[in-house]
Structure 1
Amino acid sequence: MLIAITRLAEKAGKDAGVCAAFGHTCYTVSPLRAEVIGDEVERFVEEANRGAFDCIFFTSALPAAIVAPLLDLPHPVRLVAIGPQTARTLVEFGLSPETLPSFYSADFAPHIGEWLRGKRVGIPRAAVPNPDLLSSIRAAGGEACEYPCYDLIPSGEDLDTGRADAVLFTSASSFREARWSRRSGQIVIAIGRVTARAMEEGDVVPDVVGDGSLSGTLEALNTHTGAADV
């Protein structure tokens, strides 16, 4: 089927290949655009390169792509990527991250565990509040150092979703800011539980909820429709 995927244009590069592996085609619709906050990027990079952090947590591939080329870390730092796409981006710039076993930032502190106590964690990310992540790090005895490296600006445009067999929302923000209309028979998909919660709060109950990754979501879609994986 043809799937409209809500993405920042900068993050859509691998979507077509992943969809093809599950027997689908896709195109990108962008309810948001990214605007880099140069001062915050510079502030984070300066701190990281002077050795201010014991750990850096990359919550998506975009901040990884923005800051990784600028890093010259003076000592080994624990690098954590939220998922395989983010990890691949870091590897492309010569870094060696570990990857969370889930795709949710709230699982970062439980995954790291006791090691967090007394550690400083640098978090370059979108300028979107994430109090659960910050409070979980602090509750584990760590110090959360958040750097809003880019803004998410609503496009204000009506999304071209009418021709799609399914619409896949990849974040809570992309759903909240989307201007779209659901046509009869169209499958609506949440990439994970956080996005699903935002959709339900907006009176849209997703037909399919993924595990936070595109591949896991497409697998769930094929199970929902009874399609066999390719």
Structure 2
Amino acid sequence: MKIAITRLENKAAGDRALCASYGHDCYTVSPLRAELRPERVDAFVEAVHRGEFDCLFFSSALPAAVVGPKLERWPRVIAIGPKTAEVLREFGIEAEVLPTFYSRDFVPYLGEWLRGRTVGIPRADVPNPGLLGAIAAAGGTVREERVYALVPTGAELTLDAADAVLFTSAMSYREARWQPRDDLLLVAIGEITADAMRAGGHPPAVVGDGSLAGTLEALNRYAEGR
């Protein structure tokens, strides 16, 4: 199957090899681009070096890639998934990995340890009130540093050659310009993205576990059962 995968521009490393291992080909379509804010990256790194955080949470690979190489020391580090942890490991930072690919599991994972602790989160300029509220309810303090913005590219997704389109986030779906087709298989990387697609009138036929590998596994199960 030929799969169009929504990714930030230049952030699709490894997708084709992974897709090939599941018997598919893929290419990138980019409804969003990242606009880095270097001054905020530097402010966050300086706060880490001053010892202001008891824990860092990296909720995607991009902030790990821009913050990681600047860190000289760090506290406890949590990564949302193995891909993010792999990026951090390139800079000598060993991170614990959440049991699922959702930030909602951050607080249950840390449990009572969070009480009285301060968490630093470098992330996109996209609100996540559920995570912030959960940390506060657990007795923790959080400081988000929005180190990059996600800006719609405005480009229509090129889907003519695709058998399927895989949306990798709710925002990538909501901001995408594209033309649905009856023969185009709709795929969501996880339940949050799937909910956005259902709300927008495009319910996905396949829903993954929040990772690309898990989504490809789900896609193959779907194809076998059709």
TM bucket normalised to smaller: over 0.9
Runs of 5+ consecutive residues of structure 2 not aligned to the other structure: none
Q: Is the 8 A contact 1:79 1:98 kept in 2?
A: yes
Counterpart among 113, 116, 137 of residue 114 in structure 2 = 116
**Offset of residue 14 of structure 1:** 1.2
Quick check: 1:82 aligned with 2:80?
yes
Letter in 2 for 1:5: I
Which residue pairs with 2:178 in the alignment? 180
Give RMSD over aligned pairs. 0.9
Aligned residue pairs: how many?
Answer: 225
Q: Say whether 1:197 aligns with 2:195.
A: yes
Partner of 2:33: 33
TM-score by length of 1: 0.96
Structure 2 CA distance for aligned equivalents of residues 189 and 77 of structure 1 = 37
Alignment correspondent of 1:70: 70
Conservation of the 8 A alpha-carbon contact between 1:10 and 1:62: no
Secondary structure class of the residue paired with 2:10: helix
Q: Secondary structure at the match of 2:162?
A: coil
Which of these residues, 132, 135, 138, is aligned with residue 136 of structure 2? Answer: 138
Contact 1:162 1:183 in 2 (8 A): no
Match status 1:42 vs 2:47: no
1:162, distance to aligned residue in structure 2 (A): 2.1
- Paired amino acid for 2:50: R
**How far apart are 1:11 and its partner, in Å?**
2.3
**Percent identity, aligned pairs only?**
59
Whole-Å separation in 1 of the counterparts to 2:100 and 2:19: 20
Report the alpha carbon displacement of residue 186 of structure 1 after superposing the two structures with TM. Answer: 1.1
Is the 8 Å Cα contact of residues 190 and 196 (structure 1) preserved in structure 2? yes
1:107 positional shift: 0.9
Q: Which amino acid aligns with 1:183?
A: R
Q: Deviations over 1:109-148 (max 9, x none)?
A: 0111110000000000000000011111111111111000
Q: Distance in 2 between matches of 1:96 and 1:13?
A: 21
What is the Cα deviation at residue 203 of structure 1? 0.8
Aligned partner of 2:100 in structure 1 is 102
Q: Give the Cα separation in 2 of the matches to 1:188 and 1:16.
A: 19
CA distance in 2, matches of 1:86, 1:22: 21
- What one-letter code is carried by the residue in structure 2 that aligns with 1:140? A
2:168 maps to 170
SS at match of 1:11: coil
What is the DSSP-based 3-state SS (H/G/I as helix, E as strand, rest coil) of the residue aligned with 1:111?
A: helix
User: In the alignment, what sits opposite 1:57?
Assistant: 57
CA distance in structure 2 between the aligned counterparts of 1:56 and 1:10, rounded to whole angstroms:
25
Per-residue CA deviations over 1:19-38 (Å, capped at 9, x if unaligned) read: 11110010000000000012
Q: Name the structure 2 match of 1:224.
A: 222
User: How far did 1:40 drift?
Assistant: 1.2
The CA deviation at 1:104 is 0.4
Q: Which amino acid aligns with 1:204?
A: H
TM-score, scaled to structure 2: 0.98
Check whether the contact 1:11–1:61 (CA below 8 A) recurs between aligned residues: no
Q: Give the letter for the 1:24 counterpart.
A: H
- 5+ unaligned residues in a row in structure 1: which ranges? none
**d(CA) in 2 for partners of 1:205, 1:29:** 19
1:161 pairs with 2:159: yes
Paired with 2:20 and 2:91, the residues of 1 have a C-alpha distance of 27
Deviation at 1:10? 3.4
